[in-house]
Chains A and B, each alone.
Chain A
Amino acid sequence: MSEANLTMDHGAGVMEERPFAIPSSKLVMWLFIISDACTFGAVLFAYGYIRNSAADWPLVFEAASIWNALLMTFILVTSSLTILLAVRAAQSDDRAATFRWTMITAAGGILFALLHIREWMSLISQGVRLFQNPWGAPMFGATFFSVTGLHMAHVIGGVVALIVVGVGYKTGRYATKHVEIWSLYWHFVDLVWMFVVPLIYLLNMKR
C-alpha cells in the first residue's frame, strides 16, 4: 500500500481490529472504573488496618442507622435500574423517555446524598469529629467520613454528569453511547456501596 493510499483512508487498511470491540470512550470508562475500584479498595483496606489495630474501636450504629443504610441501598440499586431504562430508551432513540429516566436516576442520587448527609449530621451532633469521638478510637470519624465522603463525592459527581448527559441527549448534543458510558459509572457507584454497607455499617453496629 502506497503512502498516498494510507493517507487517503487514514491508515484504516493497516489498522488492527479493535481488540475489545467497544468504542475507545467506553474502554476509557472501564479503565477509570477499575482504577477507581482499586482506590476504594485501598481506602477500605486502610480503614480495616486502622480498625484492626485499635483496641477500643467503637460500635456505634443503632438499628435506625442500619435500616437507613438499607433504605439508601434500595434507592441506589433502584436508580441503577432506572439508568438501565434510560439506556434502553436511548437505544430506541426515544429522547423524551431517555431524559425522563436519566432525571429520575439523578433524583435518586440526590435523595441518596440527602439521606447520607442526615446520617453525617446525626453522628456530628453526637460529637463525632475527624479525630475524636465520645466512644473510643479517635480515628473512627476519620475513617467513616473518608470512606463515605469519597463515595458521596462520586454520587454527587455522577448526579451532575447524569443531568448534563440527560439534558445534552435531549437537545441532541450527546449520543446514545454517552448515556451508556455514564450508566457504567453509575452502576459502579452502586457496586461500591454494596461493600461500604457491610464493612462500615454492619460491622460497626451496636451489639
Chain B
Amino acid sequence: MSTGNNGSMNTSYLAYAGILALAVIQVVVALTRGPSLGRMLILAGIQAYLAVMFFMHLRDEKPTLRIALIPATLFVLVMLNMVWADSFRLIHLRPFAK
C-alpha cells in the first residue's frame, strides 16, 4: 500500500507552514488591497495543491491514480463555469436569447 507516510514528516511540516502562510497572505491581501476573486482563487488553488500532494500524499501514489482522479474532477468544475453567462444576463435584466 503506497501511503507515502513512511518517510520523513518534514515535507508535511513544510506543507503545513506553507498552507498557513498562504491563508495569512490571503487575509492580509484582502484587507489591504481588497478581495480580488482571481487572487483569492490562485492562493486557494496553491493551498489545495499542497494539501492534496503532501497531506493526502497523492504525489506518492501511482501516476494512474492521479490521472484517474484529477482530470475528471477538473473537467466537471470547469464545465460548471457555463452558468456565468446566465447570471450576467439576469443582473442586466436581459431577456433570454431568441
Residue numbers of A with Cβ under 8 A of B are 19-23, 26-27, 30, 34, 37-38, 41-42, 45-46, 48-50, 52-55, 63, 66-67, 69-70, 73-74, 77-78, 80-81, 84-85, 87-88, 91, 177, 180, 184, 187-188, 190-191, 194-195, 197-199, 202-203, 205, 207
Q: Are B23 and A73 in contact (CB under 8 A)?
A: yes
- B1-30 contact mask (Cβ, 8 Å, vs A): 1 or 0: 111011001001100100110011011001
A191-B52, A194-B44, A194-B47 known; A52 vs B2 contact (CB < 8 Å): no
Collect the chain A residues with CB atoms within 8 Å of residue B86's CB. 49, 53
Q: In the assembly, what is the distance between CA of A194 and CA of B27, in Å? A: 12
Known: A22-B1, A30-B65. A77 touches B20 (CB 8 A): yes
Interface of B (DSSP majority class): helix
Q: Tell which of B9, B27, B37, B88 touches A70, judged by Cβ atoms closer than 8 Å.
A: B27
Contact of B83 among A45, A73, A202 (CB under 8 A): A45
Tally of B interface residues using CB under 8 Å = 49
* Chain B: CB-nearest residue to A81: B16
Beyond A22-B61, A197-B23, A197-B26, whether A203 also contacts B40 by CB under 8 A is: yes
Q: Chain B: which residue is nearest A191 at the CB level?
A: B51
Q: Given that A22-B65, A45-B83, A205-B35 are known contacts, is A188 also in contact with B44, CB under 8 Å in the complex?
A: no
Please name 12 further chain A to chain B contacts, defined as beta carbons within 8 Å, in addition to the given A20-B61, A45-B81, A191-B47, sorted by A numbering. Answer: A37-B77, A41-B77, A48-B87, A52-B88, A67-B27, A74-B23, A80-B55, A88-B5, A177-B1, A180-B1, A202-B30, A205-B31
